[in-house]
């Protein structure tokens, strides 16, 4: 009883605090689209030439970014806000991500390619600890890619994961009834084995996505499909190995990447670097959501590990959580 009361009290406090933060956020005058200088040069704003800093951190997914993940909607809004800004001549993309969902990675890749090809924005990527699978997919849209010697990258491949707990349920006498309209509606079900026909269908879906992945990397890197295929199949590379295999262009961090971006933009010196100003209440609210989600029984640890695996993951409906 005491534990229930404590849990209820904590839930109530977190709810009230969340509502309070939300109300403050609504009346706050801080704009989430304002750019502020973060590195190099002098002055604030975009009344002078500069480059935009875009950070892609954590699992890549559709929707809005969270405290520890990168949402395609948030990233696309940041990129589209600068596409017609003539003062933003370059984009520095910092990636620290193991990958994520296919569609989200493709959307960001295509937007960067559009800015690079149609809007004449120079794009340079700086890889951090990891830029694998979906992270590398996005990176391949850049004019130049920089990685640290110890960066984990590559993992050009696609995977779909569907746990099967049929045996466990049978052991304890648990039966699951499924009602469906459509022969394949419960493909990749947790509760039964796939048929050979369903396995072939899923494999075809993965093969199509894999081919598109390779073609897009080849297009972004100005390489042949055959060249990328030889380095794909899910292989993971260190930054040094990726450099030797021409998956990245050079070894270095933000300093070197920004210097190269300045050079590509024909800028005398180092381009001022601007980043979207984040509403502090938004950041605080995201942190509270992350903390409360973990406390009140969020995702299981093994599911989190699956989502953080360094592969470009497809999440079918049976894997939604």
How is the chain split into domains, by residue range? 33-157+233-290, 161-232
Q: Is 133 a catalytic residue?
A: yes
Active-site residue (options: 105, 126, 133, 155): 133
Query: Using only C-alpha atoms, what is the Rg of the chain?
Result: 22
Positions of the chain with pLDDT under 50: 26-33, 40-45, 290, 294-303, 305-311, 314-321
pLDDT tens-digit profile of 36-85? Answer: 655 544 333 455 789 999 999 999 999 998 878 899 999 999 999 999 99
Q: How far apart are the C-alpha atoms of 268 and 99, rounded to whole Å? A: 35
Provide the CATH number for the domain formed by 33-157+233-290 in this structure. Answer: 3.90.226.10
The pLDDT, as a whole number, for residue 238 is: 97
Whether this prediction's pTM lies above 0.85 is answered by: no
Q: Is 105 a catalytic residue?
A: no
Q: 137: burial class by Cβ within 10 Å (0-12, 13-18, 19+)?
A: buried
Q: 228: burial class by Cβ within 10 Å (0-12, 13-18, 19+)?
A: buried
The pLDDT, as a whole number, for residue 285 is: 53
Active-site residue (options: 183, 185, 246, 300): 185
Q: Calculate the alpha carbon distances from 216 to 51, 94, 136, 141 in Å.
A: 25, 20, 11, 8
């Amino acid at each position: 009883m005491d534990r229930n009361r404590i849990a209820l009290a904590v839930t109530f406090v977190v709810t009230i605090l969340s509502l309070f933060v939300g109300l403050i956020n609504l009346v706050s005058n801080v704009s989430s689209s304002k750019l502020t200088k973060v590195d190099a040069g002098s002055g604030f704003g975009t009344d002078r030439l500069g480059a935009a800093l875009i950070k892609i951190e954590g699992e890549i997914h559709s929707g809005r970014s969270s405290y520890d993940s990168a949402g395609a909607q948030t990233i696309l809004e940041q990129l589209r806000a600068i596409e017609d800004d003539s003062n933003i001549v370059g984009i520095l993309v910092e990636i620290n991500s193991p990958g994520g969902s296919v569609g989200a990675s493709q959307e960001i890749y295509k937007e960067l390619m559009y800015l690079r090809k149609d809007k004449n924005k120079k794009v340079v990527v700086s890889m951090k600890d990891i830029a694998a699978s979906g992270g590398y997919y996005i990176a391949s849209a850049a004019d130049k890619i920089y990685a640290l010697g110890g960066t984990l990258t590559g993992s050009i491949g696609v995977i779909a994961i569907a746990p099967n707990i049929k045996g466990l349920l049978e052991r304890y006498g648990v039966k699951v009834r499924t009602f469906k309209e459509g022969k394949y509606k419960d493909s990749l079900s947790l509760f039964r084995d796939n048929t050979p026909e369903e396995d072939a269908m899923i494999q075809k879906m993965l093969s199509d996505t894999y081919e598109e992945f390779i073609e897009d990397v080849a297009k972004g890197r100005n390489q042949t499909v055959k060249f990328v295929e030889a380095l794909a199949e899910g292989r993971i590379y260190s930054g040094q190995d990726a450099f030797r295999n021409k998956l990245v262009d050079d070894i270095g961090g933000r300093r070197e990447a920004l210097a190269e971006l300045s050079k590509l933009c024909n800028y005398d010196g180092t381009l001022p670097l601007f980043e979207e100003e984040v509403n502090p209440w938004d950041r605080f609210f995201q942190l509270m959501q992350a903390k409360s989600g973990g406390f009140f029984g969020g995702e299981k640890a093994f599911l989190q590990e699956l989502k953080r695996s360094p592969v470009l993951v497809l999440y079918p409906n049976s894997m939604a959580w």
